[in-house]
Amino acid sequence: VIKKFVPILGWLPNYRKADLPGDISAGLTVGVMLIPQGMAYALLAGLPPIYGLYASLVPLLLYALLGTSRQLAVGPVAMVSLMIAAGVNQFAAPGTEEYITLVILLTFMIGVIQFGMGLLRLGFLVNFLSHPVITGFTSAAAIIIGFSQLQHLLGLTLPQTNQIHEILYYALRDIRAVNIPTLLLGLCAVTLIFFLKKWKPTFPSPLLAVATGIGFVWLFDLPAKGVQIVGSIPEGLPSFSLPPVEDTAIQALFPLSLAIALVGFMESIAVAKAMAARHRDNYTLDSNQELIGLGAANLGGAFFQSLPVTGGLSRTIVNEQAGAKTGLAAIISAILIGFTLLFLTPLFYYLPKAVLAAVILVAVAKLIDFKELRFLWCTKREDFAMAALTFLATLFIGVEEGIAIGVVISLAMVIYHSTRPHFAVLGKLPGTNVYRNINRFPEAKEEQDKLIMRFDSMLYFANTEYFKEKLQRLEEKKETSLKLVIIDAVGITSIDASGVHALREIIEDHQKRNITLYLSGVIGPVRDVLHRAGITDRLGKDHFFIDINEALEYYTEPEKSKVNPAYILQTNQ
Amino acid sequence: VIKKFVPILGWLPNYRKADLPGDISAGLTVGVMLIPQGMAYALLAGLPPIYGLYASLVPLLLYALLGTSRQLAVGPVAMVSLMIAAGVNQFAAPGTEEYITLVILLTFMIGVIQFGMGLLRLGFLVNFLSHPVITGFTSAAAIIIGFSQLQHLLGLTLPQTNQIHEILYYALRDIRAVNIPTLLLGLCAVTLIFFLKKWKPTFPSPLLAVATGIGFVWLFDLPAKGVQIVGSIPEGLPSFSLPPVEDTAIQALFPLSLAIALVGFMESIAVAKAMAARHRDNYTLDSNQELIGLGAANLGGAFFQSLPVTGGLSRTIVNEQAGAKTGLAAIISAILIGFTLLFLTPLFYYLPKAVLAAVILVAVAKLIDFKELRFLWCTKREDFAMAALTFLATLFIGVEEGIAIGVVISLAMVIYHSTRPHFAVLGKLPGTNVYRNINRFPEAKEEQDKLIMRFDSMLYFANTEYFKEKLQRLEEKKETSLKLVIIDAVGITSIDASGVHALREIIEDHQKRNITLYLSGVIGPVRDVLHRAGITDRLGKDHFFIDINEALEYYTEPEKSKVNPAYILQTNQ
């Protein structure tokens, strides 16, 4: 049972030598990606770049210990960094001591939330983020991230804000102050990374851009020409220290930590699931254990100056493609980062911030998902509208607010639709025993004295009135000649007390009007409720049929028919 | 078209003489009931009793003009009065000028909200009040109302609060100060009304109690013995005056007015619908026009010192039983109230408040719905829990809060259940073509190399993961031998973009694993989405079947079979 909670005990003792080359190669590749990306995302989060490396060390080891995915590459990611910047800069100025303290506290809180959610098995909550909401949110986040990097790319000092029109306004106002060497350096880096990636996806193009950038800056003494560089970076591993837990700060950061905990987990679990599906013979993923693994990574990371981490999409794909078979790959990545921290940080002194901005820009550009938007437009306009709404809310109202609005409205729409569900009048398809919607199958035949109706929804308090009303309308069309009503209940997926009351009213009304009412195809869980509510007896046991066919056969010739009307009721009493 | 918005124009010009006796008798009966009930409910609302009569005049006329129900008896009702008292006493002391001003403003606001909701056709919102929530709320409200009358029944001055433990505490503390004549008078009135109602339901027992009470008080000079009486009541009709519209008060009262507008409409529409069903040959009810009618009653009433009104359950039933056929009955009731206001108010000088309390107590006692609670307990434990929760929240947290909590939690439960819906593995019932859940029908036969699965819910973002996971689990049980999977989609009542993505993943996964995947019985609206999303082509048009039978027939012998797999797709392209 301990293997369930500490998955590494499941795979490390049985480690196969054959997996080693893949793990080493993948670990090194991801480690090499992590150096520039980690620094870039720390910069995006409003922190000195070194914190991105700190976040690529301890959290990776903890996830390798407790996570169930064997390919997931944990570390700083763009979306989470954006949310950090957007949220924390309300309480402190980016880059200050106070700001750093708050971010580390945030890491700690996210860890606690994720770990707790995992223990309480609340992983399913992430399912409330629908595809359209994720698409709209991600696309808007990518645009905000892009604009936030404008200052590094142009060499300007722009206000710290997520209002893109403000950023644009100040950028245009100060356009003459743009630092040309910075801009050229940035654009070259963007071009280099972008095309190198197209041409050879596995090549560590960001690292090449970083190295080339450092070389250029050093060679031509660009800092003297106004190019901003990373500057001196402290050497050595992050030291152990208690997270700065403080009441008022916790209260202030709580909504943000909740939002990041969920969004971070959502990003992580999506890619982890895709990987697990490819390796389903090897291991199975456990959503709640994933929360525990990520929670531990953040919780533990907070003791070693980490910013919030999660499983990243692009690095995970690279990890898998480079051959990662177990968590050992992540451990090797961490070792590489540790080595870098111990010995290589002086090399990054001349690293221009414009190149880090370029790394971010190329990474987030692909988050704007035009293909999915087009798919939504073609498939379901309403889902497109939901994506557009989330997109606009995220862009113009706020990052956390955008995703909250998306989730709430998409749930409200689900409820709204369930109040007026689809229903159909059925007729018999010629030459078959099949009954289908007469509006879609013109050849389906309806009889004047019979109404066969299918209701496609659970019957619950918010739609019982609609159900009663529609049934009445359909009956009014036939009024005088109507003798038999069959409600085909295959689509009534569940029923509550209000639904039972509605059904009782309908039954009493039909009995009063001398119209025979049959129910056909009622599913098990609904039969149970009807039985306990006494509806079975009130309607009569010989009014329940396994399908429409049997109902009609019995209605026409009850004596000759071999149909046993109550058959469907037999087994669940 | 004007008849639609002013329904009286539809019936008054065609008034049948035959309806007149019934309307007159019903109008007088209800008017006689309204005198004591109106005064009692005004007292309950924290107002001088005369306001109950004001509320029984202008609003009745306006509703008769604009409402669609012909039996609904509009006026003050207990539940609304309770909500007024519970809400407004946070802002002013009951009985004061300020309090009265606030209540009249509240009437105006409720009118605006209901009228606006009617114009915007938002009547369906009331459906979100489920049976269990209404039961729990009503029962708790009845108990709170009962305790609020304790002071009048005991002749004590108790604190104005809805905390029943506080009321009990003070009542017990001051038990020696109880005014015995008041208590006896009250208890006699309760007994009289209660048993007279049992014996002869249509007899105006409250009026008899009021008359007897007045007689007793006058005869034995009970005010000298400490019995509280209504005292002098201003004569004459309510005068026209503008409602005291004021910004800060509107803001303060807004949540309350919204809650009362909804609860009032809910109570009214429920009884109006029951009446309309009994008189369906005569007229049809329009929910949104009902909102307009009630809204006008409150809106106009506010110009004539009315407290908020709605359609009341008991008076409406009496109205119908006494023979009301049109809105003329309500007009006659209003005329009787007008006559009372003009000439009879001095008669009520000696009316003891204890008798009004008795009228309230008997009226609310039947609101505690043990039968429904028992029904919920037997039928669906969860619905019982919802009623209990609303009951406790209303009793111990607050009246508005109670109903809000009930609505929010019942919607949350609907969402929660939809994330883990029912599903079933199907097998063939011997000797039929019917497929049923193998767990409920042990005789249903399953084949080892085939999996037939039915999913009983819309497939949407919150349950796609659950669907994928369950399908995978079911397949794993058969793993090696599995050749065919049929998803019976009759229960998939709708699908969204996330559902489409899930289905695409499932299709790709099965194609990769060389397992045939068929869909059977997909309903029209879902077919439309699948078609637009390109799923139809991706799965293959010969993988859609009208039912499980045809799918299996085609699978076994595609050449010999006469089944046309794409038949179900034909008509909607």
Please report which confidence band the pLDDT of residue B571 belongs to, taking 50, 70 and 90 as the band edges: low
What residues contact residue B173 under an 8 Å CB cut-off, 6+ apart? none
With contact defined as beta carbons under 8 Å apart, do A155 and A178 qualify? yes
The predicted model gives A413-439 an average pLDDT of 91
Give the gap in angstroms from C-alpha B171 to the nearest C-alpha of chain A: 38
**% of chain A residues with pLDDT over 70:** 99
- Per-residue model confidence as pLDDT tens digits over B36-85: 889 999 998 999 999 999 999 999 999 999 999 999 999 999 889 989 98
Single pTM value for the model: 0.85
Q: Does A460 touch chain B (CB under 8 A)?
A: yes
Q: b vs e for A9-28, b when ≥16 Cβ sit within 10 Å of the residue's Cβ?
A: eebeeeeeeebeebbbebbb
Partners of residue B414 in chain A, C-beta under 8 Å: 415, 418, 460, 462
Query: A365 pLDDT exceeds 50?
Result: yes
Contact A523 B490 (CB under 8 A): no
Across all residues in chain A, what is the average pLDDT?
A: 89
Query: A572 pLDDT exceeds 70?
Result: no
- Per-residue model confidence as pLDDT tens digits over A138-192: 899 889 888 888 888 988 887 777 788 888 888 888 888 888 989 999 999 999 9
Please report which confidence band the pLDDT of residue B573 belongs to, taking 50, 70 and 90 as the band edges: very low
pLDDT greater at residue B525 or residue B566: B525
Which residues make beta-bridge pairs with A74?
A311
Query: Helices marked H in A89-204 — which ranges?
Result: 97-119, 131-148, 150-154, 164-173, 180-199
Contact A124 B437 (CB under 8 A): no
Q: Does A532 touch chain B (CB under 8 A)?
A: yes
Torsion A190-A194-A199-A202 (CA) sign: positive
Contact B500 A379 (CB under 8 A): yes
Query: B339 pLDDT exceeds 50?
Result: yes
- Per-residue model confidence as pLDDT tens digits over A24-59: 988 988 998 899 889 999 998 999 999 999 999 999
Look at the block and give the residue holding tokens 């969402």.
B415
Residue B572, pLDDT score: 47
- Per-residue model confidence as pLDDT tens digits over B367-390: 888 888 999 999 899 999 999 999
The predicted model gives B432-440 an average pLDDT of 90
Q: Does B512 touch chain A (CB under 8 A)?
A: no
Contact B124 A465 (CB under 8 A): yes
Please report which confidence band the pLDDT of residue A112 belongs to, taking 50, 70 and 90 as the band edges: very high
Considering CB atoms only, which of B124, B277, B456 is closest to A419?
B124
Q: Which two tokens stand for residue A364?
A: 């987030």
Distance from C-alpha of A243 to C-alpha of B325, rounded to nearest angstrom = 76
Q: Is A251 helix (H, G, I), strand (E, B) or coil?
A: helix
Q: At what angle do helices A353-365 and A205-220 cross, to 10 degrees?
A: 160
Considering CB atoms only, which of A130, A424, A458 is closest to B461?
A130
State the ipTM, two decimals. Answer: 0.86
What's chain A's Rg over C-alpha atoms? Answer: 31
Give the gap in angstroms from C-alpha A571 to the nearest C-alpha of chain B: 6
Please report which confidence band the pLDDT of residue A571 belongs to, taking 50, 70 and 90 as the band edges: low
**% of chain A residues with pLDDT over 90:** 49
Across all residues in chain B, what is the average pLDDT?
A: 89
Partners of residue B501 in chain A, C-beta under 8 Å: 131
Query: B160 pLDDT exceeds 80?
Result: no
Query: A349 pLDDT exceeds 90?
Result: no
Q: Does B378 touch chain A (CB under 8 A)?
A: yes
Question: Which range is least confidently modeled, A112-116, A411-415, A431-435?
Answer: A431-435
Helix, strand, coil tally for chain B in percent (to 5): 65, 5, 30
Distance from C-alpha of B271 to C-alpha of B73, rounded to nearest angstrom = 10
The CA-based dihedral angle spanning residues A60, A62, A65, A66, taken in that order and rounded to the nearest 10 degrees: -110
Q: Does A284 touch chain B (CB under 8 A)?
A: no
With contact defined as beta carbons under 8 Å apart, do B325 and B27 qualify? no
Sequential DSSP letters for A388-424: HHHHHHHHHT-HHHHHHHHHHHHHHHHHHHHHS--EE
Give the gap in angstroms from C-alpha A223 to the nearest C-alpha of chain B: 50
Partners of residue A525 in chain B, C-beta under 8 Å: 422, 456
Residue B557, pLDDT score: 86
Give the gap in angstroms from C-alpha A130 to the nearest C-alpha of chain B: 5
Contact B461 A433 (CB under 8 A): no
Considering CB atoms only, which of A417, A498, A546 is closest to B131?
A498
Q: What secondary structure letter does DSSP report for B103?
A: H
Cα-flanking dihedrals φ and ψ of residue A286, to 5°? -125, 110
Query: B10 pLDDT exceeds 50?
Result: yes
Give the gap in angstroms from C-alpha A371 to the nearest C-alpha of chain B: 12
Q: Which two tokens stand for residue B296?
A: 């006008």
Q: Does B465 touch chain A (CB under 8 A)?
A: yes
Query: A281 pLDDT exceeds 80?
Result: no
Q: b vs e for A253-263, b when ≥16 Cβ sit within 10 Å of the residue's Cβ?
A: beebbbbbbbb
Contact A424 B571 (CB under 8 A): no
Binding-face residues of A in 228-247 toward B, CB within 8 A:
none
The predicted model gives B211-237 an average pLDDT of 87
Residue A573, pLDDT score: 42
In chain B, the residue whose alpha carbon lies closest to the alpha carbon of A387 is B497
The predicted model gives A210-238 an average pLDDT of 87
Sequential DSSP letters for B228-289: -B------SPPPP------HHHHHHHHHHHHHHHHHHHHHHHHHHHHHHHHTTTT----HHH
Distance from C-alpha of A305 to C-alpha of A106, rounded to nearest angstrom = 11
Give the gap in angstroms from C-alpha A383 to the nearest C-alpha of chain B: 7
Distance from C-alpha of B488 to C-alpha of B42, rounded to nearest angstrom = 59
Partners of residue A476 in chain B, C-beta under 8 Å: none
Question: Which range is least confidently modeled, A9-13, A481-485, A564-568, B9-13?
Answer: A564-568
**% of chain B residues with pLDDT over 70:** 99
Give the gap in angstroms from C-alpha B68 to the nearest C-alpha of chain A: 16
Considering CB atoms only, which of A376, A441, A497 is closest to B131?
A497
Q: Which two tokens stand for residue B106?
A: 């509240």
Q: Tell me how far CA of residue A530 lies from CA of A190, A536, A541, B127, in angstroms.
A: 65, 6, 11, 21
Q: Does B288 touch chain A (CB under 8 A)?
A: no
How many whole angstroms from its chain centre is CA B151?
30
Q: How many residues does this entry show for chain A?
A: 573
Query: B271 pLDDT exceeds 60?
Result: yes
Contact B497 A434 (CB under 8 A): no
Query: B413 pLDDT exceeds 50?
Result: yes
**% of chain B residues with pLDDT over 90:** 49
Contact A128 B461 (CB under 8 A): yes
Q: Is B71 helix (H, G, I), strand (E, B) or coil?
A: coil
Give the gap in angstroms from C-alpha A440 to the nearest C-alpha of chain B: 6
